[in-house]
Structure 1
Amino acid sequence: MSGIERQGDGFVVDATLLAEAFGLKASEVRTRMRDGRIVSRCETGMDQDAGRWRLSFYHEGRACRFTVDEAGTILKRSTFDAPARKGTGGPE
């Protein structure tokens, strides 16, 4: 897989995308997601954003966000500083 794919009610994101965003190896992404150091959130668009989803990932004070369509096509991508989230190894 290279990118984001729709799977049932959710999405599967290639670890390589997150590795690039957070400066990690893909294998580190998998480990950090399992142990809660990378956390995610999926939001469904409404009204004018219907048919779009916002997938956000948080790790050590950084966030990576993808806006995708129903097929998982990336419409927008951004990486930015964000307050540490519970489970990301930063201050609570």
Structure 2
Amino acid sequence: MSDITRAGEDFTVPARLIADGLGLPEHAIARAMSTGAITTRTERGEGADAGRFRLSFFYRGRSFRLTVNAEGQILSRARFDRPGT
């Protein structure tokens, strides 16, 4: 079971997951998102990846990516640096 919820094409991800993924304190997430310091992108899988979604979070030179199914269950997670950003 996942704490990620879906409403249509929108997903809600708990701040604690984003904080852990980006290496930030949980209390900083809402403010960073509201000011645009954290940006997001959602991608829908096609073909062999149909029914999967990639939820990406970007903060400064860091990226955190969750791959989830249609019910919001986490299938994989990745954290990586983006040099030069």
- What TM-score comes out, normalization by structure 2 length? 0.90
Instruction: Identify which range, 16-25 or 31-40, moves more after superposition.
Output: 16-25
Structure 1 residue 3: deviation in Å?
A: 3.0
Could you tell me which runs of 5 or more consecutive residues in structure 2 were left unpaired when the two chains were aligned. none
Cα distance in 2, alignment partners of residues 19 and 59 from structure 1: 10
Cα distance in 1, alignment partners of residues 79 and 23 from structure 2: 11
Q: Matches of residues 1-92 of structure 1 in structure 2 within 5 Å? A: 3-83=3-83, 84=85
Instruction: Identify which range, 20-29 or 50-59, moves more after superposition.
Output: 20-29
Instruction: Identify which range, 69-78 or 25-34, moves more after superposition.
Output: 25-34
Could you tell me which runs of 5 or more consecutive residues in structure 1 were left unpaired when the two chains were aligned. 85-92
Structure 1 residue 21: deviation in Å?
A: 1.5
Contact 1:39 1:59 in 2 (8 A): yes
Q: How many positions carry a matched residue from both structures? A: 83
**Identity over aligned pairs, percent:** 45
Quote the RMSD (CA, aligned, Å).
1.2
Q: Deviations over 1:30-84 (max 9, x none)?
A: 1000000000000000010000000000001000000000000000000001253
